Structure 1
Amino acid sequence: MIETNMIVGRLSYQCDILFRVIDVKEIDGREMAILSGKDYRLVADAPMEDLILISESDRLKKTTEVRSLEEQSFELFRQDIDLIHLAQEYKETSRYRREHDYFQMPGRVLHLDGDPFYLKKCLDLYEKLGVTVNGVHCDEKEMHLRIASLIEQYRPDILVITGHDAYSKAKGKKIDLNAYRHSKYFVETVKEARRKVPNLDQLVIFAGACQSHFESLIFAGANFASSPLRVNIHALDPVYIVAKISFTPFMDRINVWDVLRNTLTGEKGLGGIETKGVLRTGMPFEPSTLEE
């Protein structure tokens, strides 16, 4: 018997993605499960007879594979950030000819997420990367109603608008925004955010989830979005993009490929426009003052 919170696979898709059952309901006289991707930002529904409970051993094998990719991506981004820090240190100390007397202010992030499980995973990764973040769980359909007040409250440099999404061929062509589960709500949220902060470099926005309508999100005002080829994106990909932006100096422009190359999904699922970093450097730095 399949119940909520169980981890399942879809037989019709050869169990390619692990899902968590988040609801069971009757649709058109048929018992259907509402599914949330365990590691990918995909939401789907499936008839109960198409689902199979994933055994502990199969679940562990799949999870181990995904975690290995996550660790690889984390290490590559960690190296990128370390190189940025070294370059800044070289510059600010006049080629190491004077003492360290500067401080840095990375970008502040507001992460709005439709999935509380993914939000927690993302917040844990932000902490590992040293990114200052405020996380808010919000249903995708309500994000556009709350975003203006949240921007006023947190005054972020970077905004993440994400959760779950999916394209349904039965609802229309890929160019039709109404054929997507949550893309239109993400688009409205981006538009509302841009009404508050129109400048693309004053507030950097990442928006979208699995299979989201990339073009609409970019033209609504997002700097980075998913999904150019309507593929699934990994739950942690927005964090890696944000970390790169947060630690890049505001005088430097970010090459889009430099941001995407170390994500788990890559350019098929993520894209964007040329954007400035948000890290600011100041001086002097007096540790003794902070200790008092």
Structure 2
Amino acid sequence: MKQGDLVVRKSYGGDVLFRVEDVRSERALLKGTDYRLLADAPIPDLSVVRDPESTRATQQVRIKVNDSLKRMRQQRAQQQSVQTGEEIRLAAEQQAQPYFEMPGKVLHLDGDGNYLRKSMQLYEAMKVPAHGVHAHESQMADLLFRLLPQVKPDIVVITGHDGVLKSHANGDLFSLGSYKNSQSFVNAVHVAREYEKNRDGLVVIAGACQSHFEALLQAGSNFASSPGRILIHALDPVYIAIKSSYTSIRETINLSDVVHGTISGIDGVGGIETIGRCRVGLPKPKTAAVAALLKSTS
């Protein structure tokens, strides 16, 4: 057993695929490859996986991911056809001038470098302007304090790894002390809300696996995990950020669509009514330089 090995836990029936982050004596520190879960386990309980795509856990996750991405693209196409204001559509038709979109800009802080890379790839594929930073969960509050005035995002994602501490598994799930990183996420949300108190002025998406949902909402999040204290998929916060980025500022984000559209579902993610962050304009910029300028100031 060594760092980097892919493993499953025998005692849990191999339900989650992990990567070994560190080996300490007879125990291994584990990070989920698909779920935002940080765990540890005795080495004898671990089984090395040579072909991750052949495992039941991976196959089930892939099906859910593909369904979620398909739904995301379908909803995006629907948004493009219905959310542009009637007055803009008419003006565009009358003057033969196509309109343009300014999707909301995302600042994504992630406690896992691999998840951040996957997240940035999805933002790019969906043409969402995004700035990503890999940082330890405990550093996110200080980092946000510096980055928010620089990046000026419309949407902030605060995520990484979390989980209920084993010593508190049967204890008080409403105490922040029962979680590995929920307190750090709450601290970061407080910083975001000091920067922008209006929940429609800055959309905050926070949390990871089993995070303290109620504390994150109370701190000022628009969306958070995890109402049912379950595992959430690595891309669930990204899905919500993209939905926020492309929903019109004249509309509220459809809570049912966004929650049920995630891979984890309603027990994994919840939130409150929130206005979208996408704007449309007329006429469409004619040069790449002007388009880049609009993108940088959005």
1:8 CA drift (Å): 0.5
Kindly indicate whether the alpha-carbon contact (under 8 Å) linking 2:92 and 2:99 is maintained by their aligned counterparts in 1: no
Written as runs of structure 1 = structure 2, the 5 A alignment for 1:248-267 is 248-267=247-266
Q: Helix, strand or coil: the match of 1:275?
A: coil
TM-score by length of 2: 0.91
| Range with greater deviation from structure 2 (227-236 or 43-52) | 43-52
Aligned to 2:235: 236
Partner of 2:71: 76
Offset, 1:158: 0.2
- Structure 2 CA distance for aligned equivalents of residues 286 and 215 of structure 1: 43
Cα–Cα, structure 1 residues 135 and 265, in superposed 2: closer, same or farther, change >3 Å? same
Q: Is the 8 A contact 1:108 1:132 kept in 2?
A: yes
Contact 1:166 1:212 in 2 (8 A): yes
Decide which moves more: 247-256 or 183-192: 247-256
SS at match of 1:230: coil
Q: Is the 8 A contact 1:214 1:228 kept in 2?
A: yes
Question: Which amino acid in 2 is paired with 1:41?
Answer: R
Deviations 1:46-99 (CA, angstroms, capped at 9, x unpaired): 111111112326646643432232122111111101111111357221398533
Matches within 5 A, 1:25-36: 25-26=24-25, 31-36=26-31
CA distance in 1: counterparts of 2:288 and 2:219, whole angstroms: 45
Looking at structure 2, the residues matched to 286 and 42 of structure 1 have their Cα atoms a distance apart, in angstroms, of 44
Partner SS state of residue 254, structure 1: coil
Partners of 1:40 and 1:228 lie apart in 2 by: 16
Tell me how far 1:197 sits from its aligned partner. 1.1
1:250, 1:279 within 8 Å by CA — same for their partners in 2?
Answer: yes
- The number of equivalent residue pairs is 287
Structure 1 residue ranges without an equivalent (≥5)? none
For normalisation by structure 1, the TM-score amounts to 0.93
Confirm or deny: 8 A CA contact 2:226 2:268 kept in the other structure: yes
In structure 2, the gaps of 5 or more residues are: 292-298
SS of 1:165's equivalent? coil
> Percent identity among equivalent residues?
45
* Matched-pair contact (CA < 8 Å) for 2:97–2:282: no
Q: Which residue number in structure 2 is paired with residue 86 of structure 1?
A: 81
Counterpart residue number, 1:268: 267
Question: 1:57-76 to 2 correspondence within 5 Å?
Answer: 59=54, 62-76=57-71
* 1:47-126 superposed matches below 5 A: 47-56=42-51, 59=54, 62-89=57-84, 91=86, 92-94=88-90, 97-98=93-94, 99-126=96-123
Letter in 2 for 1:235: A
Q: Which residue of 2 aligns with 1:39?
A: 34
